[in-house]
Amino acid sequence: MGRRDGAAAGGTACREYGDSMDRMIEVRRLKRHFGPFLAVDDVSFDVARGEVLGFLGPNGAGKSTTMKLITGFLAPTSGTAVVCGADVVADPIAAKRHIGYLPEGAPAYFDMTPASFLRFIARIRGFGGAEAQRRIALAIERTALHGVLAQPIETLSKGYKRRVGLAQALLHDPDVLILDEPTDGLDPNQKHEVRTLINALAPQKAIIISTHLLEEVDAVCTRAIIIARGRIVADGTPVELEARSRYHNAVRLTLAADTGEAAAALLRLPGVISVEPIEDMEGSGFTIFPRDGRPIMAEVTDLVRAARWPVAGLRLERGRLDEVFRDITTAAAA
Amino acid sequence: MRSTWVIFRRELASYFATPLAYVFIVIFLALAGALAFFLGNFFDRGQADLQPFFGFHPWLYLVLIPALAMRLWAEERKTGTIELFLTLPISIGAAVLGKFLASWAFAGIALVLTFPFWITVNVLGSPDNGVILASYIGSFLMAGAFLAIGSALSALTKNQVIAFVLTAAVCFLFTVSGSNIVLGFFTDWAPHALLAALMSFSFLTHFSAIVRGVIDLRDAVFFLSLIALFLYANTVIVELKKAD
């Protein structure tokens, strides 16, 4: 096992730091000014092992700045972050040993090859000899970099550059992963690969990813924080956030032929508060909104069956994260 | 210390990963030779020494060293690698020192490759090799001072051209601060102490003392303390400007 070597390099002490649900990242009242501009305003949250925290927010909301504060790239104006027990303000080098960080845009030394770049990262993180070889090989395997090891990074495609950045972040098998837009600019297959990788790593680590892709939150995150104007405006599981949507538990009904009476009949159901006509690629029909977000599927199906409408489609809406996101972030901006 | 060594190796290798190293070395050797032969009358003087060769080094460095130093931090900031670099478990001091030492070692390699001049004078006559060695050491120390200035100034900007111009300008002032170009501006009104201080900062004064064979520890201390001062400034500038 390489555990002893890792501990010698200060890499894995967090594993002995507490029970499996310990708080690996503790963000304490972080604030950061840029001149008069308050980029991060009193942000606090914890991330435990096994959690994948999605950082959502409009561009310029403070997502990247918060990440730069946690990773010790920027010094906070006030507050701090504690990573595996190491205070990033008081002891930045100890904190940085526990963190694997993919900065926005996956910067890397473009004149190096992935092989020499990863060797550099291994050396600077204190691994040498066979241990370095083993870790580099594992990082290459996890990110499927085999084919491009000898090419200068500047000649690689965007997807491969992103993977080089991920390999670099994973090399020391950190307890905490902070990934700033890890799938930005990737094609759908590459996005899927990165998300699969994050899901595979998730149980052993505390992970923060920033994204503005809401589908990504559903795909990988166990929890999401929405940040706007430097403040946390929502914090919950994706399901909890979706439940805030007026579409939560709404039913979408498309009909093969318009019966003329459907809207009025649906509106008479006790659990229904409103019915909106829809007309799109899937055909014409209605979105039926429930009173107080309570389930109405049973009522609607009973009615449909009794009335013998020609149903083309019937679907339960879980709630629309993009709508919640828009509501919350625009309300915060107003 | 170990991370300084790792950074040093990566940086030194990165000079050779691009054509920069080869272009720099070829131009440096060609210019050093041309200046010594055509402007310095290397042969016609009929003296077996390397004074005409070393005499042009300050001017050669003025053009070439800023080109070597400009990328040190400006490039990291431009490409965003600084965010990767400074979130590794290293201190800024180690980062600054590793980068500086790599550029200094590279300048040293270029300087060592001028050995044919040394062979030539030894074939043609019997020079004072002690003076030549001292001159090489003096030239290397001066290159270090230019590089430390350049490294600090390259952290001020993302733009390598700006870093080049700033470094060349500041190095020019340091080089000529003992000469009439600068002193003429101050002589009429400035107190003697200031004039003396200005003269004492002149690279030319310190370097020519070494080249003449007068090896004074104070000249070496001057260059080394200038290097230390600018590397300290470098760490402060990196800390202040890294996120811009």
Q: Which positions ≥6 away from A12 have C-beta within 8 Å?
A: A3, A6, A173, A175
Q: What is the DSSP string of A237-290?
A: -HHHHHHTSTTTT-EEEEESS--SSHHHHHHTSTTEEEEEEEEETTEEEEEEEE
Domain carrying residue B140: 2-241
Using H for helix, E for strand and C for coil, what is the string for chain B? CHHHHHHHHHHHHHHHHCCHHHHHHHHHHHHHHHHHHHHCCCCCCCCCCCHHHHHCHHHHHHHHHHHHHCHHHHHHHHHCHHHHHCCCCCCHHHHHHHHHHHHHHHHHHHHHCCHHHHHHHHHHCCCCHHHHHHHHHHHHHHHHHHHHHHHHHHCCCCCHHHHHHHHHHHHHHHHHCCCHHHHHHHCCCCCHHHHHHHHHCCHHHHHHHHHCCCCCHHHHHHHHHHHHHHHHHHHHHHHHHCCC
Neighbour count for residue A193 (Cβ, 10 Å) = 18
Amino acid at residue number A158: K
CA atoms within 13 A on the CB side of A6: 18
- What pLDDT sits at residue B44? 67
Residue of A97, A109, A155 for testing the chain B interface, max B β-carbons within 10 Å: A109
Name the β-bridge partners of A177: A100, A207
Neighbour count for residue B176 (Cβ, 10 Å) = 17
Closest residue by Cα to residue A125 from A143, A163, A98? A98
Closest residue by Cα to residue A96 from A114, A109, A79, A81? A81
Q: Which helix (H) or strand (E) holds A164?
A: helix A158-170
Q: What is the pLDDT along chain B (244 residues), one digit of tens a residue?
A: 789 999 999 999 999 988 889 999 999 999 988 887 777 666 666 666 777 788 888 889 999 999 999 999 999 999 999 999 999 999 999 999 999 999 999 999 999 999 988 888 888 888 888 888 888 999 999 999 999 999 999 999 999 999 999 999 999 988 887 776 666 777 777 777 777 777 777 888 888 878 777 777 888 888 999 999 999 999 999 998 887 7
**Closest chain A residue to B4, measured at CA:** A124
Report how far residue B24's alpha carbon sits from residue A183's, in angstroms, rounded to the nearest whole number.
Answer: 39
- What pLDDT sits at residue B149? 96
Report the sign of the C-alpha dihedral through residues A107, A110, A114, A119, in that order.
Answer: negative
- What pLDDT sits at residue A333? 62
Burial class (CB in 10 A: 0-12, 13-18, 19+), B30: exposed
**Ordered domains of chain A (ranges, CATH):** 3-98+174-243 (3.40.50.300), 251-317 (3.30.70)
Classify residue A15 by its DSSP letter: G
- Give residue-wise pLDDT tens across range A82-136: 999 999 999 999 999 999 999 999 999 999 999 999 999 999 999 989 999 999 9
Closest residue by Cα to residue B158 from B93, B98, B242, B65? B242
Q: Which positions ≥6 away from A140 have C-beta within 8 Å?
A: A114, A118, A146, A149, A167
C-beta atoms of A93 and B10 within 8 A: no
pLDDT at residue A221 tops 50: yes
Burial class (CB in 10 A: 0-12, 13-18, 19+), A176: buried
Q: What's the number of domains chain B is made of?
A: 1
C-beta atoms of A125 and B89 within 8 A: yes
**Structural contact between residues A26 and A80, judged by C-beta atoms closer than 8 angstroms:** no
Q: Which positions ≥6 away from A225 have C-beta within 8 Å?
A: A45, A53, A54, A55, A56, A232, A234, A235
Residue among B14, B83, B243 minimizing CB distance to A109: B14
Classify residue A147 by its DSSP letter: G
Name the β-bridge partners of A285: A254, A278
Residue among A10, A97, A108 minimizing CB distance to B81: A108
- What pLDDT sits at residue A20? 45
- Give residue-wise pLDDT tens across range A159-186: 899 999 999 999 999 999 999 999 887 8
Distance to chain B for A219, nearest Cα, Å: 27
Percent helix, strand and coil across chain A, each to the nearest 5: 40, 25, 35
Neighbour count for residue A234 (Cβ, 10 Å) = 20
Structure tokens at A280: 């799109």
Chain B positions in Cβ-Cβ contact with residue A103 (cut-off 8 Å):
80, 83-84, 87
- Give residue-wise pLDDT tens across range A274-318: 888 887 776 788 889 998 888 888 888 888 888 888 888 888 888
- 3-class secondary structure, A331: helix
- Give residue-wise pLDDT tens across range A128-161: 899 999 999 999 999 989 999 999 999 999 889 9
**Closest chain B residue to A102, measured at CA:** B84
C-beta atoms of B81 and A107 within 8 A: yes
Report how far residue A65's alpha carbon sits from residue A46's, in angstroms, rounded to the nearest whole number.
Answer: 17
**Structural contact between residues B135 and B50, judged by C-beta atoms closer than 8 angstroms:** yes
Closest residue by Cα to residue A111 from B217, B168, B75, B178? B75
Residues A288-322 as b/e (b if ≥16 CB within 10 A, e otherwise) read bbbeebeebbebbeebbeeeebeeeeeeebbbbbe
Distance to chain A for B85, nearest Cα, Å: 9
Cα–Cα distances (Å) from B43 to B46, B47, B49, in that order, read: 6, 8, 10
Query: Is B10 an 8 Å CB contact of chain A?
Result: yes
- 3-class secondary structure, A40: strand
pLDDT at residue A210 tops 50: yes
- What pLDDT sits at residue B45? 67
**Structural contact between residues A229 and A305, judged by C-beta atoms closer than 8 angstroms:** no
**Structural contact between residues A50 and A222, judged by C-beta atoms closer than 8 angstroms:** yes
Burial class (CB in 10 A: 0-12, 13-18, 19+), B29: middle
Distance to chain B for A73, nearest Cα, Å: 6
Residue among B9, B17, B79 minimizing CB distance to A107: B79
Confidence of residue A6 (pLDDT cuts 50, 70, 90): very low
